[in-house]
Structure 1
Amino acid sequence: MTTPATPQAHEQQAPGHGPAVSYTSPIPIRPATLGDAIASEWTKIRSVRSTIWTLGVMMMLMLAVGVGSALLIAATDTDLMGEPVLGLGFFGVLLGSICVITLGVLTIGSEYSTGMIRTTLTACPSRSRVLTAKAIVFFLLTFALTTVAATVIAAFQTLILDGGTASGSLWLRATLGAGVYIATLGLLSLGVGAIVRHSAGAITIMIGVVLLPLVLAPFMYAESLRGLQRFLVEYSIPNQLGALYGTTVTSSGPSGWEPLLLMPLLAAAALGGAYAALKQRDV
C-alpha cells in the first residue's frame, strides 16, 4: 500500500574499496494514505464475481417487483382511490436489501475465509484505515445503485398507474432516503462480518435481525409481553423501511425521515465494535 512520491538517496561502496558513491533511486517513496486504501478496496470489490452477482440480483429484484406490481395492478384495473403509488416500491427494496446484506458481509468475510486478509493487512498495517476504506467504497457503491433503481421504479410506477400525487418529501424518501437506508444497513452487515469473521454466520445473524422481530411478535400472547411485541414490530427493519414510503403497519413508531436517524446509529455501533475487534486480534 506504499506509493511512490519522493526519491530516496543511498550510498554504495565503490569497487576496490574506493570512496562511497551517492545513488538516488528513481522510484519515489511516500507514505500510504486513505486514498490509496480506497483505490485498493475499489479494485477488489469490482473485481470479484460476488459483487456482480449480488448487486445484479438486487437490481433485478427491485425492478421486477416494483415495476411488475405496478403492471399487475394496472392490468386488474384496481382503484387506488387517490393514494400515491410510490409505496409499491417498498417490496422490491425490501427483497433487494437481502442482497446488500450479503455483499456487506462478503466484503470483509470473504477475505477471512480465503486468508486474503493477511495480505491486506501486510500491505496496509493500519487496520482502521482498511476498515474505513471498505466502508466508504461499499457505502458509495450500494447507495448509488439502490438510489438509481429506486428512482427508476418510482418513475415507472407513476407513469403506469393513475394514483395520487406524491409530495416532494415522499419522493425524496422513496428514492434518496431508501438508497441511504439500504446502504447504511449494508454498513451494519459489514461491521457484523468484521466482528464474526465468518460469512455464513454473519449473513445468518443479519437475516435474523431483519426478519426475526416480525416472526417472534405474533407469538407474544401474554399481556406482560405486549410492550415488547409492539416495540419489535414498530422498530423492525421492514417497518422502518416502510416508514420511508409511508406504508408502516402500525400507527406509532418511526415515521417520515426518522429511520435515517436510527439505522446510522446501529451501523456506527457495529462498526465501532469492528474497529475494536480488529485492533485486538492478530488477524
Structure 2
Amino acid sequence: MLQAQAPAQAPAPPQAQAPAQPQQPQNQPQQPPAQPHPQQSFAGAGGYVSSIPVRPTHLGHALLSEWTKIRSVRSTMWTLGVMVLLTVGIGLLTGAVIAGHSDSLGPESPLNYGTFGMMMGLIPLITLGVLVISSEYSTGMIRTTLTASPARARVLTAKAIVFFALSFVVTLVTTTVVAVAQYSMLSDMAKSAPTGAEWFKATVGVSLFTAMIGLLSLAVGALLRHSAGAITLMVGVYLLPLVLAIFMQAESLKDIQTWLLEYALPSQLNVMYDVALTSSGPSGWEPLWIVTGLAAVTLGSAYAVIHKRDV
C-alpha cells in the first residue's frame, strides 16, 4: 500500500537586508539638530511679528506722555479756566473800583493791586497740582503709567517739569494781562510810572512764585496719593495760618500772630507784589526762595518714598 507523499514546501524568499548605516568617524562630534528661528516659528504658527523697532525709553518720552495726559483731561481745562477767570476778573474789578472811588494812589504802584485776584486764583492751581498725580492713583491708571515707564523717579520728574512749565506760562500770561489792564486804568492816579524791575517782579516773579506753590501741591499729592486729603491739606496750609493770625488778638499771642502774618503764603504773595502786611519779615524776592526751598524739601520726600510703596 502506497503512502501519500506530503507536498514539497516552497522555499522561503530571502529576507531583504537593511542597508548598512554609514558610521560616523569617532573623532567627529555630532551636530545638534537645527532649531527654527523664533520669528519664523512664530509666524509659521499663525502669530504676528511686529515690525516696529523696540527702542529704549528716556525722559523725553515721559515728558511727551505727561504732556498728552495733562492737556487731554477735563480737570486741567476747568481748573486753569477758573484760575484765569478769578485772577483777571477780580483784578479788573479791583482796578475799576479804585479808579472810581479814589483820586490818588499815594506811593503805591498800579501793579500792586494784582494780588487780590492772584490770591484767589491760587486755589484752583493748588487743586490741579494735586490732581496731576493723585487722580492716577485714584483711578488705578498709575499701574499703566509705571508699566509703560518702570522708572518711577523719571515719571515723577516728568510730571513736575510739565506741570511747572504749564502753570508758569498760564500765570505769566494772566498776570501780564492784569498788570497792563490795571496800569491803563490807574496810571493817571499814580505819582510815578512803574520801573522795569517792578514790571518784571509783578509778572515773571509772581508767576515763578505761583508755579512753585503748584509744584508743592504736586509733591503733597505724590506723598498722600489721595485727592481729597491732599487738596484739603494744601488749602489748609495756604489759608489757615492767615485766618488764625486774624483771630489772634490776645496780647500774649502777638508774637505768634506776627510770625504767621509774615510767613503765611498769602502774605508772601503780597510781598511779591510789594504790598507787605507787616514792616518786618521777608522782603524783595525772599518769598520766592522760601517757597522754592519748601517745594524742594517736599518733592525730595516724594522721591524718597516713591520706590518704597506699592501701587
Same fold? TM cut 0.5 = yes
Question: 2:157 matched to 1:132?
Answer: yes
Q: Identity rate of aligned residues, in percent?
A: 57
Q: Report how far residue 166 of structure 1 moved.
A: 1.4
Q: Report how far residue 223 of structure 1 moved.
A: 5.2
For the residues of structure 2 that align with 1:200 and 1:137, how far apart are their CA atoms? 22
Question: 2:224 matched to 1:199?
Answer: no
Q: Report how far residue 77 of structure 1 moved.
A: 4.3
What is residue 280 of structure 1 aligned with on the other side?
308
For the residues of structure 2 that align with 1:199 and 1:13, how far apart are their CA atoms? 46
- Out of 137, 158, 177, the position equivalent to 2:205 is 177
What is residue 92 of structure 1 aligned with on the other side?
117
What is residue 288 of structure 2 aligned with on the other side?
260
Q: Deviations 1:154-193 (Å, cap 9, x if unpaired)?
A: 1111111122311222211110011000011000000000
- Out of 258, 269, 275, the position equivalent to 1:247 is 275
Instruction: Label 1:38 to 1:277 Cα distance change in 2 as closer, same or farther (>3 A).
Output: same
Q: Deviations 1:101-142 (Å, cap 9, x if unpaired)?
A: 000000011111111111111111111001000000000000
Letter in structure 2 aligned against 1:11: H
The equivalences for 1:1-283 within 5 A come to 11-12=37-38, 26-161=51-186, 162=188, 163=190, 164-221=192-249, 225-283=253-311
Instruction: Label 1:77 to 1:226 Cα distance change in 2 as closer, same or farther (>3 A).
Output: closer
Q: Over alpha carbons, which structure has the higher Rg?
A: 2
Q: Report how far residue 28 of structure 1 moved.
A: 1.5
For the residues of structure 2 that align with 1:218 and 1:71, how far apart are their CA atoms? 27
Q: Deviations 1:52-96 (Å, cap 9, x if unpaired)?
A: 000011111111111121122223344213521111100111111
- Does the aligned pair in 2 maintain the 1:108–1:190 contact within 8 Å? yes
Instruction: Label 1:28 to 1:213 Cα distance change in 2 as closer, same or farther (>3 A).
Output: same
For the residues of structure 2 that align with 1:26 and 1:142, how far apart are their CA atoms? 39
Tell me the matched-pair count.
Answer: 266
For the residues of structure 2 that align with 1:25 and 1:113, how far apart are their CA atoms? 34
- Does the aligned pair in 2 maintain the 1:54–1:103 contact within 8 Å? yes
Letter in structure 2 aligned against 1:211: L
TM-score if structure 2 supplies the norm length? Answer: 0.81
2:279 aligned counterpart, secondary structure: coil
2:307 aligned counterpart, secondary structure: helix
Q: Report how far residue 217 of structure 1 moved.
A: 2.0
Instruction: Label 1:222 to 1:80 Cα distance change in 2 as closer, same or farther (>3 A).
Output: closer
Quote the RMSD (CA, aligned, Å). Answer: 1.8
For the residues of structure 2 that align with 1:221 and 1:68, how far apart are their CA atoms? 31
